[in-house]
Structure 1
Amino acid sequence: MVFSGLSGLVIEDVTDEGELSRVRARSRRVPVPCPERAVETAHVHGWCGRTVADVPVDGRPVVLEEDDRPGLSPRRLARLLLARPDNLKPDQHELLAKTTGACPEMSALAALVRAFARLLVPATDNADRLQEWISTAEKINLLNVHSFIRGLRLDIDTVRAALTSENHNGGTEGVNTKTKLIKRQINSRAGFHLLRHRILLG
């Protein structure tokens, strides 16, 4: 059975259903011609079932079930990159290694993320290590990383203090957040005494 019109897809399964043949296929994860619309795209229709008119099989229609969803979304990849390695499952480790090894830019990005994550544990030498990280990151052609560096430099003294000092105001910020939540729950209409009771009893 030859599917000349589906050359841009990977055929995973073909089922004979009497009056029609059902083809299960997926994209090659690169821009390919859509069998029906003949346009180059890497993300055509999501999951779909449609008749491919140019691929008759013994005179019967062929229903194509095509999975054009990307194998790994940017959000999921970001979660894998930012997660602690100890918290990843074996299949996630394998997927991350395969993805980050796909191109030099991904390998460089993964290395930068891991190096910056180590800076988040306060240490006295983190100020020097931060400068080394910035110098390394600037040599790599990753525009989003360069934008992140510009943001760091807007308040570099605060960043250095956060990376080197054991002290922080996390507890205070937590109380502030809780107070704002209580105010929103009562539509900001409570007087001071009611708000005080809600905070103390909360």
Structure 2
Amino acid sequence: MSVRGRYQRCLNDTPIGGRPVWLVLSVRRFNCAASSCTVRTFVEQVPGLTARRRRRSQPLQELLHGVGAALAGRAGVRLAGRLAMRVSRSTLLRLLRATPEPVLTVSPRVLGVDDFALRRGQVYATILLDMETRRPIDVLPDREAETLASWLRAHPGAEIICRDRAGAYADGARTGAPDAMQVADRWHIFHNLGEAVEAAVVAYRSSLSEPLAEPGEPALPAEPSSRPQLPDAQAVLPGKEIRLVTRTKERYYEVQQLLADGASRAEIGRRLGLDIQTVRRFADATSIEQLLANTHREGLIDPYKAYLHQRWNDGCTDTAVLHAEIREQGFRGSVQTLRRYLRPLRPIEDGTRRHLRAPSTPPTPKPRRVAKWIMSDPATIRLEDRHKLDAIRRRSPALDTLAGHVHDFADMMHKLRGDRLPQWIATVLAGDVTELHSFAKGLQRDLAAATAGLTLPWSSGAVEGQVNRVKMLKRQMYGRARFDLLRRRILQPN
């Protein structure tokens, strides 16, 4: 090898004091004397500073790669510009894609598995996590059982697999790592229990209302026989509620008709323009009443009805005064909203305006709120709500039994006593609360994983945290990058 000559090489280096820096180097060019060498000349490189065919120094290259890994394209360009480093968004992404992928040398002992949406409701991928280091180790392009099984066969060594209750992951883990212990996530189990509890409360919603009080006398003198009937509370503001109920009924019958015609749930979602979760809710409903139980949305005035009824019955019927009083309590509505609510209490008979007494019976709590009370720790519920729940339990033996089952399950989960689960399942299946039977049978089919989830300290909490990080990365890239770039950003060290 002999020196052929010298030339000057100009490199862009890391900025100093907010100013760009250029390095001018005098380097040698060598001739290669080996006849078998396809490249006849070589350029001298400075270790740690230069690389072949690059106009940026190695430190600047690494710095730009870090910016691209943290912020991707456009946001990375903005930050680089503030740091006196001129670069395009395409260059940042190209630097990120050119980085060698991390190689998994040792398979994790405890593996976490969960899915995330590439396009919500349509395309999903799978993230794999080393639960002991809490670092993502791989990203799979779908959430199919065979894909996970193939990965586990290619990377043997997993002893514990933490997952949600998805059947695909259960099958994939069973096929790819038959000796590994599967752990069903506690949060997902308790969430499924909450869905069953809400369905049970809807089924027994007739017990949520307190017994009707005696009809009140008019606030101003009037003939008892001429007192008109107080209209239903929903008639005060009927518009939005009626539209919501009508739309719910129409969607329910459309979904049920398409199911009867043999259409799949995904096809129904495409035909009706509905998310797959919405289609699933309408398809799984046993009746339209189950869907309509929670269609009445809480309005601005609902939290103040009890106070308004008390003040009205005490003789204060001036809308402006009542509006000023509840405004001090946090009401954000207008005087017209309050006037529309009070209008049924001011009927006109024979040209004389008579004020009716407001209903003294408290409004019926929504089934979803009652389900929340049942699922919550009694120590965290407001005293007023606790009294309402106690009254409901006294009126309905079925809901009282339901609350007892939930309390036993929460105690078992809190104390990590998964050995009680078979007895709990047997007790529920022997009872009359049929809405819990499906949940209990699901636990029975996945008994080993559910028992491990309620016994071992492992859960999918760390995986859910990484899924939230993935959502942040997707928002940074505005959903325009391909799967390979998203995968590289997920696998980059934090």
Fold match (TM-score > 0.5):
yes
* Residue of structure 2 equivalent to 1:3: none
Mapped partners of 2:380, 2:450: distance in 1: 27
C-alpha spacing 1:139/1:64, structure 2 compared with 1 (3 Å):
farther
**Residues 148-201 of structure 1 deviation map (CA, whole Å, 9 limit, x = unaligned):** 11222232221111001112231122112321343145332236289739x867
Q: Which residue of structure 2 lines up, in the alignment, with residue 14 of structure 1?
A: 218
Residue by residue over 1:122-166, the C-alpha shift from the partner in whole angstroms, topping out at 9 and shown as x without a partner, is 53x422x11111111112211211121122223222111100111
Contact 2:413 2:454 in 1 (8 A): yes
SS in 2 for 1:159: helix
Distance 1:193 1:159 in 2: 32
Distance in 1 of aligned mates of 2:403 and 2:418 = 19
For 1:86-101, what aligned pairs fall within 5 Å after superposition? 86-101=379-394
Structure 2: distance between partners of 1:74 and 1:45: 17
* CA distance 1:97–1:45, change in 2 (3 Å): closer
TM alignment of 1:41-120, pairs within 5 A: 44-46=232-234, 48=236, 49-50=343-344, 60=352, 70-120=363-413
For 2:418, give the aligned amino acid. Answer: N
Contact 1:47–1:69, Cα closer than 8 Å, also in 2: no
1:133 is aligned to 424
The 3 A distance-change label for structure 1 pair 13 and 158 is farther
Contact 1:81 1:113 in 2 (8 A): yes
The alignment's TM-score, normalised by the length of structure 1, stands at: 0.65
- Indicate the SS of the match to 1:16: coil
Aligned-residue offset at 1:62: 5.6
Matched, 1:178 2:469: yes
Partner of 1:28: none
Letter in 2 for 1:126: G
Q: Structure 2 regions of 5+ residues with no counterpart?
A: 1-211, 237-342
TM-score by length of 2: 0.29
| Superposed displacement of residue 65, structure 1 | 7.7
1:165 to 436, 449, 456: 456
Partner of 2:441: 150
Q: CA deviation at 1:78?
A: 0.8
Aligned equivalents of 2:356, 2:481: Cα separation in 1? 61
Please identify the structure whose Cα radius of gyration is greater.
Answer: 2
Distance in 1 between the 2:403 and 2:479 partners? 44
> Percent of pairs identical after alignment?
24
Report the Cα distance in structure 1 between the residues aligned to 2:388 and 2:357, rounded to whole angstroms.
25
How far apart, CA to CA, are the structure 2 residues paired with 1:82 and 1:155?
22
Contact 1:138–1:146 under 8 Å retained in 2: yes
SS at match of 2:395: coil
Aligned residues: 169
C-alpha distance in 1 between matches for 2:475 and 2:409: 36
Q: Which of structures 1 and 2 has the larger relative contact order (alpha carbons within 8 angstroms, sep 6+)? A: 2
84-93 or 44-53, which deviates more: 44-53
Q: Once the 2 structures are TM-superposed, how far is the Cα of residue 115 of structure 1 from its aligned partner?
A: 0.6
Runs of 5+ consecutive residues of structure 1 not aligned to the other structure = 1-7, 24-34, 38-43
* Residues 46, 69 of structure 1: 8 Å contact kept: no
Q: CA deviation at 1:63?
A: 6.6
Q: In 2, are the aligned partners of 1:105 and 1:142 still within 8 Å (CA)?
A: yes
Provide the alpha-carbon RMSD of the alignment. Answer: 3.9
Cα distance 1:91–1:164, how it changes in 2: closer, same or farther (>3 A)? Answer: same
SS of the residue aligned with 1:179? Answer: helix
1:10 to partner: Cα distance: 3.8
